[in-house]
Amino acid sequence: MGREKLATGGPNQVRRVAFYVRVSTEGQARVVEGSLKNQEQMLASELRRRNTGQSWGRLVGSYVDGGFSGSSIERPEFKRLLADVERGTIDAIFFTELSRLSCSLKDFLNIFEFTQQHKCDLVCLKTEIDTTSPFSNLVVRILMVFAEFERDMTADRIRRNAYERSKRGLAYGGFEPLGYKRDPEHKGKLRSMQKK
Task: Summarize pLDDT for 70-97 with one digit per residue, the tens.
Answer: 889 999 999 999 999 999 999 999 999 9
Q: What is the pLDDT of residue 73?
A: 93
pLDDT band for 127, please (50, 70, 90 cuts).
confident
Task: Summarize pLDDT for 32-46 with one digit per residue, the tens.
Answer: 778 899 999 999 999
Q: What phi, psi does 164 have (nearest 5°)?
A: -65, -40
The superfamily (CATH) of domain 15-147 is Resolvase, N-terminal catalytic domain (3.40.50.1390)
pLDDT band for 195, please (50, 70, 90 cuts).
low
| Averaged pLDDT for residues 164-183 | 66
- The answer to whether 114 and 78 have CB atoms below 8 angstroms apart is no
Q: How far apart are the first and last CA of the chain?
A: 74
Share of the chain above pLDDT 90, in %: 41
- The answer to whether 131 and 140 have CB atoms below 8 angstroms apart is yes
Write out the E strands in 67-186.
92-95, 121-124, 129-130, 180-182
Every domain of the chain and the residues it spans: 15-147, 163-196
**More confident site: 102 or 139:** 102
